[in-house]
Homo-oligomer: A and B are copies of this chain.
Amino acid sequence: MAGSIFGNIFRVSTFGESHGKAVGVIVDGCPAGISLNEDDVQIYLNRRKPGQSDYSTPRKEADEVEILSGIFEGKTTGTPIAMVVHNTSQRSKDYSDIASYYRPGHADYTFDEKYGFRDYRGGGRSSGRETIARVAAGAVAAKVLKELNIFVNAYTKAIDNVEIDTYNPEEIFKNELFMPDAKAVEKARKVLDERRAKGDSAGGVVECRVNGLMPGVGEPVFDKLDAELAKAIVSIGAVKAFEIGDGINAAKSSGFDNNDFFSMKDGKVSKETNHSGGTLGGISDGSEVLIRAYFKPTPSIFKEQKTVNKSGEDIFVKIKGRHDPIIVPRAVVVVEAMTAITILDLLLRNMSSNIENIKKVYSYECK
Q: Does A197 contact B (CB under 8 A)?
A: no
Identify which of A52-60, A116-124, A175-183 touches chain B.
A116-124
Binary B-proximity of A264-280 (CB < 8 A = 1, otherwise 0)? 10010100100111011
Q: Which of B17, B81, B118 contacts A69 (CB 8 A)?
A: B17
Does chain B have a CB within 8 A of A91? no
Are B68 and A22 closer than 8 Å at their CB atoms? yes
A360: contacting residue among B115, B215, B299, B360, CB under 8 A: B360
- Whether B104 contacts A259 by the Cβ 8 Å rule is yes
Other contacts beyond A14-B221, A17-B70, A263-B308: 17, CB < 8 A: A15-B26, A21-B67, A77-B119, A78-B114, A79-B119, A79-B220, A104-B260, A105-B260, A114-B216, A223-B235, A227-B234, A241-B241, A250-B294, A250-B296, A256-B305, A263-B314, A264-B314
Q: Can you list 26 A-B contacts with CB-CB less than 8 angstroms, sorted by A residue number? A: A2-B78, A2-B220, A3-B224, A16-B82, A17-B72, A22-B68, A31-B354, A32-B114, A33-B356, A77-B124, A106-B281, A113-B214, A113-B215, A114-B283, A116-B354, A160-B251, A195-B254, A214-B362, A227-B230, A241-B242, A255-B299, A255-B300, A256-B305, A259-B305, A275-B296, A366-B366
